Amino acid sequence: MLPQGSITHLQKDLGRGQGTENQKTLFDHQNPSKPIIVQTSPTKVDLRMERGMKETSSRNTMTYDSNEAARAARHRSLLQEVDRADVILQAHMLKGPVGLADHWSDVTDTRTFLQNALQRLLMSDLKYCQADNIEHQFWKILYYNFIEILRKSFPQLSAEDKPKIINLINIIIEEGNTFFENLVQMLEKAYKFNVDDYLNDSHALPPKGLGYVGLALISVQKLYVYLGDLARYKEQVNETNNYAKSKLWYTKAQQINPKNGRPYNQLAILAIYARRKLDAVYYYMRSLMSSNPLQSARESLQSLFDENRKKISHCLQHIHLHGLTLEYLI
């Protein structure tokens, strides 16, 4: 259950006076006569807790069948609590980066609840987690949203405040490293397998018929991508450029299932950082050839081609202007 302390912190902050625009009222079962009113963002991450009671989901690739609906309904109470926790965390983000850093301890209980909720779902219902991409939703709520809002605040921060925000991001990253690595170990123990047995560089898919082990491997692949993202953020935030650890995690994710396009897309991002554009083209192409091609990979690849096209056009104009020949340039 969502800790009462999380709600208390939220009520205290909201009591300081906020507008009524974009408000959401939450029912507090411990105090029914006093609903919780929070400010919400139009871009709020919505876990669609009502989806289990509907015939179809808003996912792009498939619709719920009766079994999926039953699974979602079974977790409905937990997902309602998760949705409340998400709103609480977003309310804390309204304090701004410095306010968030100064009161980071206020979100500890809420984030711990969310971490435990993800563990519970992964340990109890891998099929539901895969069908609804649960890991990705928790990744965004627990880590991605915080890191992004803090990183984007850098240009507006004073010289005094910036180190404080960098320190907070590093705390979030290190916590995430521990959390996701522990999740991998929990999955290995719960479903009795060793991830290393399924890592290979021969680009062969894991054997068919793995059952729950196969589902667990899908989750592990996602967790490896998140670990790679955290390692990448760490280098960016601290203005260093050693992406070896990030590349290691992405490569492991790719080896688990080479047909997934996400790891290739992330490897392409690292290639761009290293100015290895030919490598980036290769990884973007592999991502687009996967069973789940990413639209962002297509756009990034097009951007690379456009950039090279402009360079070639500029060179040809230079040749024409100065009366040079291609042989001279070579």
- Determine the Cα–Cα distance for residues 124 and 129; give it in Å rounded to an integer: 9
311 part of a folded domain = no
Give the range of the structural domain holding residue 29, as residue numbers without chain letter: 4-258
- Determine the Cα–Cα distance for residues 279 and 290; give it in Å rounded to an integer: 17
118 part of a folded domain = yes
298 part of a folded domain = no
pTM of the entire predicted model: 0.77
| CATH code where residue 184 lies | 1.25.40.10
- Determine the Cα–Cα distance for residues 176 and 135; give it in Å rounded to an integer: 13
Per the CB < 8 A criterion, the answer to whether 312 and 329 are in contact is: no
293 part of a folded domain = no
Per the CB < 8 A criterion, the answer to whether 174 and 262 are in contact is: no
Per the CB < 8 A criterion, the answer to whether 258 and 202 are in contact is: no
135 part of a folded domain = yes
170 part of a folded domain = yes
109 part of a folded domain = yes
- Structural domains in the chain (count): 1
Q: What pLDDT tens digit does each residue of the chain (330 aa) get?
A: 777 666 666 556 555 544 434 455 554 444 555 555 544 443 333 434 344 334 333 444 444 455 666 667 788 899 999 999 999 999 999 999 999 999 999 999 999 999 999 999 999 999 999 999 999 999 999 999 999 999 999 999 999 999 999 999 999 999 999 999 999 999 999 999 999 999 876 555 565 668 899 999 999 999 999 999 999 999 999 999 999 999 999 999 999 988 899 999 999 999 999 999 889 889 988 988 888 888 777 787 787 767 766 666 666 666 666 665 555 545
Q: Which of 144, 141, 130, 295 is nearest to 210 (CA)?
A: 130
- Determine the Cα–Cα distance for residues 76 and 181; give it in Å rounded to an integer: 27
296 part of a folded domain = no
Cα 161 to Cα 99, 102, 132, 174: the distances in Å are: 11, 11, 39, 20
